Amino acid sequence: MIQFDVITIFPEIFKGFVSESLLARGQKKKIIRIGLHNLRKWTTDKHKTVDDNPYGGGPGMVLKIEPIFKAVKSIELKVKSKRSKNVKPKTYNLKQRVILFSPRGKKLTQELAKKWAKLDQLIFICGRYEGVDERVADYIADEVISIGDYVLNGGEVAAMAVIESVSRLIPGFIAKKESAQKADHAQYTRPEVFIMGKKRLKVPKVLLSGDHKKIKEWRKNII
Ligand code: ADE
């Protein structure tokens, strides 16, 4: 079981995402757990302020460090050890990682997803607006991650990408009859011929031949 915790000012964005298809099934089967946390919960003023003007001036607002720090501290799983007389509490280390999303971060790769799939908990800090106080990257997050060379409105879509790519690697998340890896060759299904205007789009003959050796050979050569 891996626990994902998302800290965001837009938890509603995730509602449909976490309650459909494989992610819904994974949660039901207790293979993954997903916690959604509104950053405003950790503010103390009546306006629930999460951002402020940048020091040194400039346009836009910057997410403040205090609520993010409090959120991470309260969400971090702690080892529960039952103390009883004369019995030393069992101690083991939880494997956790705090990830901040930013277009300036290290690129997400399948290799990283594989490493993270072995953890107990991943905490995601979704940046928004023009930025996040840099001390979050320096002192709170273990890693700063980007999902590609483009700028999103915030880290929410990035968090979804990580949740999906990591979940798929957790044993049991993908049923045996489904495939964990995408096919690395071209695929076709019915109809054999699709008429598109004046064009007849045909399925390669070899796939209809029933000759598995030939099909295997064809798949090796076609990417
Ligand atoms: N926030 C904004 N753009 C992003 C990106 N490309 N990756 C991760 N977080 C982001």
Q: Point out the ligand 1 atom lying closest to the alpha carbon of residue 151.
A: 3
Same domain, 124 and 27: yes
Residue 196 structural domain: 185-222
Say if residue 117 is in the same domain as residue 213: no
Q: pLDDT tens digits for 49-80?
A: 999 999 999 999 999 999 999 999 999 998 86
Three-class SS state of 42: helix
Q: Mark whether 99 and 155 lie in a shared domain.
A: yes
Q: Report angle CA 214, 215, 219 to the nearest 5 degrees.
A: 120
Same domain, 118 and 213: no
- Please state, rounded to an integer, the average pLDDT across all residues of the chain: 93
Both 160 and 207 in one domain: the answer is no
Q: Where would I find the beta strands (DSSP E) of the chain?
A: 2-8, 32-38, 51-52, 62-63, 96-107, 121-126, 131-132, 143-146, 193-196, 199-202
- Total structural domains within the chain: 2
How far apart CA 10 and CA 136 sit, in angstroms, is 19
73-111 pLDDT, tens digit per residue, is 999 998 866 666 676 666 668 999 999 999 999 999 999
Find tokens 């004369």 and name the residue.
86
Mutate to test the pocket of ligand 1, among 152, 162, 163 (most ligand atoms within 8 A of CB): 152
Q: What is the CATH number of the domain that holds 110?
A: 3.40.1280.10
* Cβ–Cβ < 8 Å for 39, 5: no
Whether 111 and 146 share a structural domain: yes
Residue type, 120: D
- Asked if residue 26 and residue 106 are part of one domain, the reply reads yes
**Is residue 37 domain-shared with residue 97, that is, in the same domain?**
yes
